[in-house]
Amino acid sequence: MIQQVMERIVTQTIPAVAVNNPNVDWNPFTNEAKLAAVKDSDSPVPASMNISSAREPDTRYATLQKDFLTSKRADPYSPTAPTLIARRFDEDREIPETRVKAMLEQVLASPLVAQVAKLILQRERTRCNRCQEISYGRGLPERYSESFGQARFLA
């Protein structure tokens, strides 16, 4: 479910009415928005609220494009580093590239890599097993089992 929510955020296909609105329930799989079944907020439901699946505007990427174009305007005035990436990499870094490369090689060549990988794998298996127990309804305490299936996701 988290992956589906993240995909909707990245593609900006979340219904605009569901964004930061506790009065609306949103299903990230069907992308359906509807009036909340449970009142869990003090904010009143606006009389003029039109619940539809109309998506949010594309302002996020417009902002990123504006930032990119703004930084590009500085390129002609920086002869030693003619792009934003070059300015960040060549002028703003705190340690030299050779030191960063040496540090990465040292970490990756460490004999502890195999032990850390094994530990991560064990923890991931434990987490996955716990998630399966919860998804099949076996792992939650009784007081949560009813409300778990009614979880709401708001963007």
Which residues share a beta bridge with 26? 33, 153
C-alpha distances out from residue 44 to 17, 22, 127, 143, Å: 14, 10, 39, 29
Domain boundaries, the chain: 1-57, 58-93, 105-155
The tens place of each residue's pLDDT in the chain, 155 residues long, gives: 899 999 988 888 899 898 888 889 999 999 999 988 888 888 888 878 888 888 888 887 888 899 999 999 999 998 888 999 888 888 888 888 889 899 999 999 999 998 998 998 888 887 777 666 555 555 555 544 444 444 444 43
Which residues share a beta bridge with 24? 35
pTM of the full structure: 0.43
Instruction: Check if the beta carbon of residue 30 is closer than 8 Å to that of residue 74.
Output: no
DSSP 24-52: EEEETTTTEEEE-SS--SSSPPPTT----
Which residue is associated with the tokens 């298996």? 125
